[in-house]
């Protein structure tokens, strides 16, 4: 039996599901129950009645699934797949950041580890960051860890100052202004779609900025036939596949060949099979952070954004 069928058989035997982020290697979709962005997958993790969740994504995503379904076994296929941005903030520098700006609500991007979430007021994803900050009805917020998503949120709100921590995504920051200029020259009729983790100079020049889900929906619904995608390669691979499967007759080009997240790409089908077989790489959370970190995510989910 091939690996794909072995994984499917194991899933049935063990009452397991596989949640897959759109930045994963595309062949993983074949064994996945749900494929999407971080907001969608966190909602699916909260809803499922499977006993085991295999999270094909990065560490903070699997941790978030565990927070939302603490009674389930959550497994990460490759234990080295962490998010470089999430690892840029720890409890010590969060404390210093809060002390420097006292008495201001703290919003944390879902791309953060559980102990950070446990010490923030509310979580957001790139799909709902603007709505989450707006819901606080305050003139100032602290935003961790992504400085660029924080600045993007501020640009969308009229009366809110967003004070950002200095984290960033090394993958999205590899997209340069020259890439945009080159794409404009080479592909005159294409639209450029960017993720808000990109530098503001990229966001300023893009035709549309949105989360993974928003980019995919925009591309699907637009009458344009060619799109330059300024985010991770997995999004381009899935859009080109869906275009072929559904006869959209649309083409998607990655803005620059280097835009892959090395940690997202660490998970392989073999890792998924081994993890499920041996039930290894289980996410275990410290007891004292479960409640506050879970509250931080649930407050976001209760807003029913997107
Ligand atoms: P989404 O929230 O759009 O899924 O993005 C997650 C991420 O890690 C982007 O780099
Ligand atoms: Fe983290 Fe960037 Fe990879 Fe997203 S693309 S998981 S933010 S390192």
258-292: pLDDT as tens digits: 899 999 999 999 999 999 999 999 999 999 999 99
Q: Is 258 left (phi over 0), alpha (psi -120 to 50) or beta?
A: alpha
* Confidence (pLDDT) at 305: 65
Q: What percent of the chain has pLDDT over 90?
A: 91
Longest dimension (CA), the chain: 59
Q: Whose CA is nearest to atom 5 of ligand 2?
A: 261
Q: What is the pLDDT of residue 38?
A: 81
**In whole angstroms, how far apart are CA 68 and each of 131, 213, 291, 300?**
21, 21, 10, 12
> Which two tokens mark 101?
């700006």
Cα separation of 218 and 200, whole Å? 20
- Is the predicted pLDDT of residue 213 greater than 70, yes or no? yes
Report the atom number in ligand 2 closest to the C-alpha of 232. Answer: 5
pLDDT digits (tens, 9 = 90+) for 15-35: 999 999 999 999 999 999 999
On average, the pLDDT of the chain sits at 95
- Ligand 1 contacts CB of residue 235 (under 6 A): no
Give burial (CB, 10 Å; 0-12/13-18/19+) of 105: middle
Instruction: Give residue ranges with CB within 6 A of ligand 2.
Output: 58, 83-85, 111, 169, 171, 197, 232, 261, 263-264
**Span from the CA of 109 to the centroid of ligand 1 (angstroms):** 10
Give the bridge partners for 52, in sequence order.
16, 73
Q: Using pLDDT thresholds of 50, 70 and 90, give the confidence band for residue 306.
A: low
Nearest to 149 by CA among 93, 85, 97: 85
Q: What is the pLDDT at residue 48?
A: 87
Asked whether 123 and 117 are in contact (CB, 8 A), the reply is: yes
Q: Which residues sit opposite 146 in a β-bridge? A: 167
What's the pLDDT tens digit per position in 86-139?
999 999 999 999 999 999 999 999 999 999 999 999 999 998 999 999 999 999
Let me know how long the chain is: 306
Check if 211 has its Cβ closer than 6 Å to any atom of ligand 1: yes
DSSP-based three-state secondary structure for 144: strand
- Based on its alpha-carbon atoms, the radius of gyration of the chain, rounded to whole angstroms, reads 19
Ligand 1 atom closest to the CA of 22, numbered from 1? 4
pLDDT interval class at 178 (50, 70, 90): very high
pTM beyond cutoff 0.75: yes
Q: What is the pLDDT of residues 49-90, one digit of tens each?
A: 899 999 999 999 999 999 998 889 999 999 999 999 999 999
């Amino acid at each position: 039996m091939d690996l794909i069928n072995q994984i499917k058989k194991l899933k049935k035997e063990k009452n397991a599901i596989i949640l897959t982020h759109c930045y994963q290697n595309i062949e993983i979709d074949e064994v996945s129950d749900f494929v999407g962005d971080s907001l969608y997958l966190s909602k699916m993790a909260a809803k499922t009645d499977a006993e085991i969740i295999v999270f094909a994504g990065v560490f903070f995503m699997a941790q978030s699934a565990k927070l939302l379904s603490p009674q389930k076994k959550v497994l990460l296929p490759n234990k080295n797949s962490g998010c470089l941005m999430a690892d840029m903030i720890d409890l010590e520098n969060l404390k210093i950041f809060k002390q420097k700006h006292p008495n201001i609500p703290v919003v944390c991007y879902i791309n953060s580890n559980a102990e950070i979430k446990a010490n923030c007021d509310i979580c957001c994803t790139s799909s709902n960051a603007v709505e989450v900050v707006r819901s606080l009805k305050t003139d100032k917020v602290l935003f961790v860890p992504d400085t660029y998503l924080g600045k993007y949120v501020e640009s969308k709100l009229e009366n809110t100052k967003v004070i950002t921590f200095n984290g960033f995504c090394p993958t999205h920051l590899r997209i340069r202004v020259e890439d945009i200029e080159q794409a404009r020259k080479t592909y005159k009729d294409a639209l450029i779609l960017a993720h808000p983790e990109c530098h503001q100079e990229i966001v300023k020049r893009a035709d549309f900025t949105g989360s993974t889900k928003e980019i995919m929906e925009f591309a699907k619904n637009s009458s344009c036939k060619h799109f330059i995608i300024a985010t991770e390669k997995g999004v381009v691979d899935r859009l080109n596949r869906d275009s072929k499967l559904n006869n959209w007759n649309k083409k998607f080009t990655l803005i620059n060949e280097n835009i892959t997240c090395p940690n997202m790409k660490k998970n392989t089908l073999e890792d998924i099979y081994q993890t499920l077989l041996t039930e290894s790489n289980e996410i275990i959370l410290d007891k004292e952070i479960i409640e506050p970190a879970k509250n931080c995510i649930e407050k976001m989910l209760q807003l029913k954004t997107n």
